[in-house]
Amino acid sequence: MSVPFTKKLKHKNVITTIGKLFSEYLPKTDCNPISQRLPIFVEYDNQKSVGIIDTTMNLGVSAGMITVVKLVGSKFTYESIDGGHRKRAIRDYINGEFAVNGKFFEDLTDKETTNFLNTEIVLCVYEPLSNYDKGEIFRILNGTMHKVNNQEILNSYGDIDIANAVRYAVREEFQKQHLIFELTDAKNSKWIDIQNKRLKLEEFVARIYYRYYEDGNLGSRTDKDLMKMYSDDTIKIKKLSEKVKKHLDFLFELVKVKKTVMNKMGWKELNTLSNLCHYFNEKLGEWKMHDAEKFYKNFVKVFYDYSVDVDNKWKDVVDFDFENAETTIKETFNNYTTCHDSYKKQEQLCKWIVEHKNLKINQGITILDVKRLFKKEEKEAVLARQDLKCAVDGKKLDYADAEAAHDVAYILGGSTTDLTNCAMIRKEYNRKMGTMTIAQYKKILIAEGKI
């Protein structure tokens, strides 16, 4: 398979020592380029650095090849491509920032110091490269030599708009971090029960970016999809970022409520709410959340009803043409909360939620797209068709006290153009019936003796 480099690459291998690496190369090397930079709070854990020094110094294990590229027009002469953690471990150990087996570098005997600094190491030096070629080298080396996940590979694309937008949203070091990813002074997540280890939160944001890169609605956002987006050099990042910020704002309002009434929000719940945001985009057009507390309190009842199933109601096995596994509704619901590859599975997850009797959409969400609503003359025609009576209680209804209700809620697939799906009912009923049909809501009122 040919490698899609933009040109034939030139490089040379230099056999040097740890001592020369530290004194001659590292001061001139950007050991922490944006393409390899880890989230700040992960840097506090130096366990990996200790392991690198221990195995090199005490076990005689080679530190392997370190790869750098020459730079042009930079304060640095070189930039790290691969082996950044090894370079930082060597630099920080010699600078006395951590101990290995209880001994700092300055505590080593003269013989131990000489042996360590004279340990040979191979330095691969590339001539100046494009961002893409630097990333391609990283992807090849880490695809064959180390185990890295897809988001770490995407991060290697370096200084490109989409990669930067994702990093900026999550990491506080760039001072553009979205508040949902805010950290405490102890470098723990303040609002969500998730950290950015192995770039997990950046992957979450990248998947949101991909959906808006496509259409903003539900759909696949696989690793392959993300690679396609990161490879698109025509991407319009400003417009995408505005949409993603609005999406994250929606989630932030809800995680604040969750922390107030319960605790930090977990991974499955956050993913589910993100899916719902895309689902609302698809089904409601322009919308906004007018009451985060009411919406979340309704949502969380539904979420835990399915995911925990205290009353053992959701034990039936699902029968979907897109599902091969024989799992119960509860099991399937939990599986779908972290699904990224199937529109139908994500749609089913959202349908389970919005069709649940406890989720009263109207109490938290407002539809802003007037195209989704019936026109004045259409509502008057429907009220006339009903002999000026409420479709719920059958009593006289003035137009001023009436609202148009979708017999089948739009979010559940009801039409906004077919007047057979329109009924004029009292405003109070429309507020309370949520996604129920008029027949379902009437049964409840009759059972309660209200009509």
| Percentage with pLDDT > 90 across the chain | 58
Residue 353, token pair as written in the block? 């939620």
- For residues 336 and 262, the answer to whether their CB atoms sit within 8 Å is no
pLDDT in tens, 419-433: 777 889 998 888 787
Helix axes 223-230, 200-214, angle to 10 degrees: 70
Q: Is the pLDDT of residue 111 over 80?
A: yes
Which of 188-197, 293-302, 344-353, 434-443 has the lowest average pLDDT? Answer: 434-443
- Tell me the pLDDT band of 40, cut-offs 50, 70 and 90: very low
- For residues 53 and 107, the answer to whether their CB atoms sit within 8 Å is no
Facing residues of 11 across strands?
Answer: 126
- Tell me the pLDDT band of 175, cut-offs 50, 70 and 90: confident
Q: Is the pLDDT of residue 38 over 60?
A: no
CA atoms within 13 A on the CB side of 246: 14
Question: Beta strand pairing status for 29-30 and 287-289?
Answer: unpaired
DSSP character string of 113-132? HHHHHT-EEEEEEEPP--HH
Q: What is the pLDDT of residue 84?
A: 82
Q: Is the pLDDT of residue 142 over 80?
A: no
Q: What is the pLDDT of residue 123?
A: 93
- Tell me the pLDDT band of 21, cut-offs 50, 70 and 90: very high
Residue 79, token pair as written in the block? 């930039």
Cβ atoms within 10 A of the Cβ of 409, count?
20
Nearest to 308 by CA among 330, 323, 292, 286: 330
The class (CATH top level) of 373-447 is mainly alpha
Distance between CA atoms of residues 152 and 180, nearest Å: 21
Q: What is the pLDDT of residue 373?
A: 64
Query: What average pLDDT does range 430-448 have in this prediction?
Result: 83
More confident position, 368 or 59:
59
The mean predicted confidence, pLDDT, of the chain is 87
Amino acid letter, 162: I
DSSP character string of 263-302? --B-HHHHHHHHHHHHHHHHHHSSEEES-HHHHHHHHHHH
Q: What is the pLDDT of residue 237?
A: 95
Query: What average pLDDT does range 60-89 have in this prediction?
Result: 88
DSSP character string of 90-117? HHHHHTTS--BTTB-GGGS-HHHHHHHH
Give the list of residues 6+ apart from residue 145 with CB closer than 8 angstroms, or none.
none
Residue 159, token pair as written in the block? 């200084």
More confident position, 53 or 283:
53
Domain limits, the chain: 11-148, 179-363, 373-447
Distance between CA atoms of residues 119 and 58, nearest Å: 11
Q: What is the pLDDT of residue 333?
A: 97
- What values do phi and psi take at 184, rounded to 5? -80, 175
Distance between CA atoms of residues 427 and 393, nearest Å: 12
Amino acid letter, 343: Y
Query: What average pLDDT does range 110-125 have in this prediction?
Result: 93
Distance between CA atoms of residues 352 and 359, nearest Å: 10
pLDDT in tens, 223-251: 999 999 998 989 999 999 999 999 999 99
- Tell me the pLDDT band of 1, cut-offs 50, 70 and 90: very low
Tell me what percent of the chain is helix, strand and coil, each rounded to the nearest 5.
50, 10, 35
pLDDT in tens, 385-426: 999 999 999 999 999 999 888 765 555 555 555 577 788 999
Give the list of residues 6+ apart from residue 447 with CB closer than 8 angstroms, or none.
none
- For residues 207 and 244, the answer to whether their CB atoms sit within 8 Å is no
Q: What is the pLDDT of residue 37?
A: 58
Give me the torsion for CA of 248, 303, 340, 285, rounded to 10°: -50
Q: What is the pLDDT of residue 7?
A: 66
* Measured CA angle at 432 (ends 429, 434), to 5 deg: 110
Q: What pTM does this model have?
A: 0.66
Amino acid letter, 331: E
Q: What is the pLDDT of residue 400?
A: 93
More confident position, 61 or 368:
61
Distance between CA atoms of residues 122 and 12, nearest Å: 10
